[in-house]
Amino acid sequence: MKSVLHLKEEVGNKDRKFGSLLSYYPVMIQNQEGHETPALFTQAQIEEAQERAARNPEDIPEESFWGSIFG
């Protein structure tokens, strides 16, 4: 698995509306054709995903031997 979400890259909500959060965590999502789309995750969404991963460790891809060597 090569996906990484850097929590140090928190961005402020520049045009904040009433009730919206102060900040988000930006990512680029790349589809099978290589097209990229930006996305913004909240801290709560990240925590929910971490909890889901903890409940379902069997669904987390394991890095292959060769992948660990050659990345």
Q: What is the pLDDT of residues 3-38, one digit of tens each?
A: 778 888 999 999 999 999 999 999 999 988 989 999
Q: Where are the domains of the chain?
A: 7-66
Helix (H) or strand (E) segment spanning residue 53? helix 43-55
**Residues in CB range of 2: below 8 A, 6 or more apart:** 71
Q: How far apart are CA 42 and CA 40, in angstroms?
A: 7
pLDDT of residue 48: 96
51-61 tens-digit pLDDT:
999 999 999 88
